[in-house]
Structure 1
Amino acid sequence: MKIVSRIINTAIVIAILLTLISAIGSAITKEPILLSVIRSNSMYPVWERGDMVIVENMKENKSIEIGDIVFFKSKEGSLATKGWIAHRVLAGNATEGYTTKGDANDYTDQELGGDGPIQREWITGRALTIGGKPIVIPKLGYLSLWMEKYQKNPYILPIFAVILAVIIGLGEIKSGQKRKKKNKGLELQLIYIAAGLTISVIMGSTMIASGQRLTIDYEVSDTSQGVLMGSVVGILMVGDEITRPLSELNNGGVFKLIGTITTNDEQIQVSHTKIPLAKGDQIETTFTVKAEKPGKYVSSIQVGLFYPFLPSSFIYFLAQKSYWLALAVVSLLPGLPLMLYPFIDGKMRRKMMSVLRKKKNKLISSLPF
């Protein structure tokens, strides 16, 4: 029974870790990474709503075959409003585009919405298969779907994480009282560290999901103005100044949030840099390009929302250095007490050092030299 219990626990931990890695990766890249949650029954019976599918990354040099189930996000037409779609390729090629269809649908995507073929650059992933059948994890995605209902409230996941950590801690303390003194493992210490890491990872993933990174393409010319395909700024003359909408920041939670906006371009100024957001606050932000130096520019603007575990000025200072530095520091803080507790508590620390010394000595004695 103990072996079965360990196998089940290990499987649960692996599933949770994969889900977290997938969620964080998808939040960073804004596309399906490793795993994707299925949100509709359009591919039934291959999979159905609530399942999770393993996704193979499809770089542009990889070929797509007829019959592949691909993940794509249309940039035009009625499909552009539907987000990421996973449908089967029925016809087409990389040059002219592809005709796609959900197995449970009566018509192709092109017939349903009157859209054109799916372009190769819109496709970022393909369902990983074994023996021609996609690898599907049934129902694992329902937790993500449930959490999505509450993503407008940035405190749901952190509160859930804290409650989970408290339950784990209380359960371990209770069981630890019954544990015999001869037990010399590191189970309790590892549980504290794992619980702290879990809180930090969940905090970080929710902040990543609420953040936004925008790429601004534009050109500064000495001689003329003009339109630049795909750019909201276009071609400016030296001395021109143009303002565009950036992002809407809102706090649908109960507690205060801290927003930061940073950019790597000295010619771009933003309307807000550090923004305290109280409950219900909603702020429209803009950016202004002041054309000073001729050239072509591909600049980035990073919008971040952080929990107020540090002063807003310090969070903004970190965000100016690197958004990821600020994210790591703010995410780490709520889980740090649990992670440090095994090192602070004298009894735990001595036990841990004793076990580590014994393992080191055992390893040294097993070496052939």
Structure 2
Amino acid sequence: MKVISKLLNIIVVILILCSLIAALGSAISNKPVLLTVILSNSMYPVWERGDMVIIENLKEKETVQQGDIVFFKTTEGGLADKGWIAHRIMSGNVEQGFITKGDANKFNDQESDGTGPIKREWIAARAITLGETPIVIPKIGYLSLWMEEYQSNPYILPVIALVIAILIAIGELKSEKKHRKKSQGMELQLIYIIGGLTISIIMGGTMIASGQKATITYEVSEHNQGVLMGSKVGILQVGDTVTQPLSELSNKGSFPSIGVITTKDKQIELSHTNIFLQKGHLINTTYTVHAEKPGDYKSAVHVGIFYPLLPPSIVFFLAEKSYWLALVMVSLVPGLPLMIYPFIDGMMRRRIMKVLRKKKNKVMNSLPF
């Protein structure tokens, strides 16, 4: 029974870690990563709503073929507003596009939704299969689907993380004496550290999901003006100024949040940089390009929404240095007390030092000199 219990615990931990990695990866790259939750029954009986599917991300020039179940997101047609879709390729090629269809649907996507053939650049991933059967983890994605109903409140996940932390703390404090007598290892310390890291990862994931990264492409010329493909700004002549909309910042939660917008491009002036967003607050932001130095530019603008766990001035200072630095520091705040507690508690600290000394002695004794 102990072996089975440990095996189940390992499986649960692996699934949780994979889900966290997938969630963070998807938030950062804005496409499915590693695992994805199925939102509909259009591929029944291959999988059902709430199942989680293991996927492989495709490189830009990697080929797909008839029979592959691919994950795509269209930019035009009737499917453009439905997000990422997982359907099977029925026919087609890279030049003409692909015809796709859900196994449970009567008609293909091009017939039923008025969407044209799926372009290769719209396809981001495909389901990993054993033979012809996709690798599916049944029903484990329902927690994610349940959370989607509460996306309008960005504080749901942090509150759940806090509840988890409190339950861990209460459970461990009640059995602390028992653990101290029976355990000479670092199991209890690891529970605190892993619990704190889990909270920080959840916090970081929700902040990544609420933020965005914009890439502003433009050219500055000494003599010419014109249109630049894929650019809202175009080709500017030295001395020109162009203003464009950037993003809409809103706080739909019940508590204040901190909005931060940063860029390293000195020619870009932001309408807002550091914003304290009260409940229901909505701000439309813009950027202005001042053409000063000739050249081609592809500048990143980070728009971040942070929980008010640090003073706004500190969050903005960190974000100016690096958006990711600010994200990590803010994410660590709620999980840090759990992570450092084992080093504050005297008995836990001594146990850690004892284990570390044993490890050090073991390593030193194994050296040939």
Q: What amino acid is aligned across from residue 45 of structure 2 in structure 1?
A: P
Matches within 5 A, 1:1-369: 1-179=1-179, 181-362=181-362, 364-365=364-365
1:99-157 Cα deviation digits (max 9, x unpaired):
11111111111112222211111111110111121111111111111112222212111
Residues 359, 219 of structure 1: alpha-carbon distance in 2 compared, 3 angstrom cutoff: closer
CA offset at residue 40 of structure 1?
A: 0.9
SS of 1:82's equivalent in the other structure is: coil
The TM-score with structure 2 as length reference comes to 0.96
Q: 2:192–2:339: 8 Å Cα contact kept in structure 1?
A: yes
Question: In 2, Cα distance between the equivalents of 1:232 and 1:36?
Answer: 33
Between 194-203 and 142-151, report the one with greater CA deviation. Answer: 142-151
76-85 vs 204-213, greater mean Cα deviation: 76-85
Letter in 1 for 2:241: E
Q: Distance in 1 between matches of 2:305 and 2:180?
A: 46
Matched position secondary structure for 1:181: helix
* Residue aligned with 2:254, SS: coil
- Structure 2: distance between partners of 1:76 and 1:299: 26
What stretches of structure 1 of length at least 5 have no aligned partner? none
Q: What SS is found at the alignment partner of 2:205? A: helix
Paired with 1:171 and 1:62, the residues of 2 have a C-alpha distance of 50
- Return the letter of the residue paired with 1:144: S
Change (3 A) 1:363 1:267: closer
Identity %: 65
Cα drift, residue 177 of structure 1: 3.0
Farther off after superposition, 169-178 or 40-49: 169-178
Q: Secondary structure in 1 aligned to 2:140? A: coil
Q: 1:4 to 1:78 in 2, by over 3 A?
A: same
Please, which moves more after superposition, 156-165 or 351-360?
351-360
Measured after TM superposition, the shift of residue 362 of structure 1 is 4.3
| Aligned-partner Cα distance in 2 for 1:268–1:354 | 55
Stretch moving more, 310-319 or 17-26: 310-319
Q: Partners of 2:237 and 2:99 in 1: how far apart?
A: 43
Q: Which moved more, 1:272-281 or 1:291-300?
A: 291-300
Aligned partner letter, 1:247:
S
Q: C-alpha distance in 2, partners of 1:180/1:234?
A: 67
Cα deviation 1:206-254 (Å, max 9, x = unaligned): 1101111011122223334333333222222222212111111111122
Give the Cα separation in 2 of the matches to 1:204 and 1:175: 30
Q: Is the Cα contact below 8 Å between 2:152 and 2:252 reproduced in 1?
A: yes
| Letter in structure 2 aligned against 1:128 | I
Count matched residues.
Answer: 369
Matched residues in 1 for 2:61 and 2:176: separation? 55
Decide whether aligned partners of structure 1 residues 49 and 282 sit closer, same or farther in structure 2, where only a CA change above 3 A counts. Answer: same
The more displaced of 137-146 and 19-28 is 137-146
Residue 341 of structure 1 aligns with an amino acid whose one-letter code is: Y
2:22 & 2:145 partners in 1: Cα distance? 14
Q: What's the offset of the Cα at 1:198?
A: 0.9
Mapped partners of 2:253, 2:221: distance in 1: 45
Residue type at the aligned position of 2:175: S
Identify which range, 234-243 or 197-206, moves more after superposition: 234-243
Shift of 1:179: 3.8
- Secondary structure of the 2:195 match is helix
- The one-letter amino acid of 1:255's match is F
Distance in structure 2 (CA, Å) of the matches to 1:351 and 1:92: 63
TM-score computed with the length of structure 1 as normaliser: 0.96
Q: What code does the residue aligned with 2:352 have?
A: M
Aligned letter for 1:80?
A
Distance (whole Å) between structure 1 residues aligned to residue 207 and residue 18 of structure 2? 19
Structure 1 residue 367, shift from structure 2 partner: 6.5
- Report the secondary structure of 2:79's partner residue: helix
Q: 2 CA distance for matches of 1:8 and 1:312? A: 43
Distance 1:291 1:50 in 2: 50
**Gapped regions of structure 2 (runs ≥ 5):** none
Structure 1 residue 182: Cα displacement: 4.3
Aligned to 2:81, the other structure's residue is in SS state: helix
Q: Residues 22-55 of structure 1: CA distance to partner in whole angstroms, max 9, x if unpaired?
A: 0000000000010111111111111111111111
